[in-house]
Amino acid sequence: MSEPTTSPLPAGPEKDSSRAGGTGPREGITVFVVDDHDVVRKGLRFYLSAHPEIAIVGEAGDAETAVEGVAEHVPDVVLMDLVLPLRPGTEPTDGGGVQATRRIRQISPRTQVVVLTSFAHDELIFSAIKAGALSYLLKDAGAETVLRAIRAASRGEATLHPRIARRLMAEVTAPAQGHDPAAGLTAREMEVLQLVAQGRTNAQIAAELVITERTVKAHVSNLLGKLHLSDRTQAAVYAWREGLMRES
């Protein structure tokens, strides 16, 4: 992987590391930084540590170490490069960051992933979003943009680089060709999907369909698996994009 063409983010004073890890209550936003370039990790650490609401709990230069670190620290937000070595001592690959993102979302669903990378290839963009990344920034983003994206991610809100947003919108608005978007879903799963897309909670869905919340959770899990989606947000986007709300 070639060095990023943009300069490292501005440096700031090191924050007290006593907040990293531990089992006590945490204040502010905990962040884990993943990038195979040491200079980028240091630049991000120094800049973000200048902000009192941000606590850097760890960093990694490869996918395997990133997953282990997130499992240990359970951060609020991970800043994730996409072209990473799969494990220490190996060469970077396009799939490294995507694999790490998928594993992180599996082991720590509360952790939001903000992609911060030099690459904007369609395959990487869609693979990262499908793996569970909430936000996608390019490394030409300003330091304040990165900080705002971290704050937004801690609230569950997405931030997209304008170029990435245009690509995603083009994909969302493109007409589907030759497939049944609801293939494999039962009638009940379709009802649940439509209600999820309308922003209903599990409790609200259970009340409307006169079933238990446990049954709702089972339906959501089943439909996500059948549609190869990772979370409710992706399910909602899918339902609207594929025109499945027309009969709701």
Spell out the domain ranges in the chain: 17-171, 187-241
* CATH 3.40.50.2300 is right for the domain spanning 17-171: yes
Q: What spatial distance separates the first Cα and last Cα of the chain, rounded to whole Å?
A: 47
pLDDT score at 230 = 77
pLDDT score at 1 = 41
Joined tokens for residue 32: 């884990």
pLDDT score at 171 = 64
Please give the sequence-ordered ranges of beta strands (E in DSSP) within 40-153, or none if there are none: 54-60, 77-80, 84-85, 92-93, 112-117, 135-138
Residue 3: CA count within 13 A, CB half-sphere: 7
Residues of the chain falling short of pLDDT 50 = 1-25, 247-248
Question: What's the CATH fold of domain 187-241?
Answer: Arc Repressor Mutant, subunit A (1.10.10)
What does each C-alpha distance from 145 to 126, 151, 155, 161, 179 come to in angstroms? Answer: 21, 10, 16, 9, 38
- pTM value is 0.62
Joined tokens for residue 24: 């006590």
What tens digit of pLDDT does each residue of 12-45 get? 334 343 333 443 445 699 999 999 999 999 999 9
pLDDT score at 173 = 61
Picking from 146, 89, 81, 157, the residue whose alpha carbon sits closest to that of residue 119 is 81
**Which amino acid, one-letter code, is at 119?**
F
pLDDT score at 166 = 78
Which value, to the nearest 10 degrees, does the dihedral of the CA atoms of residues 103, 105, 106, 110 take? 140
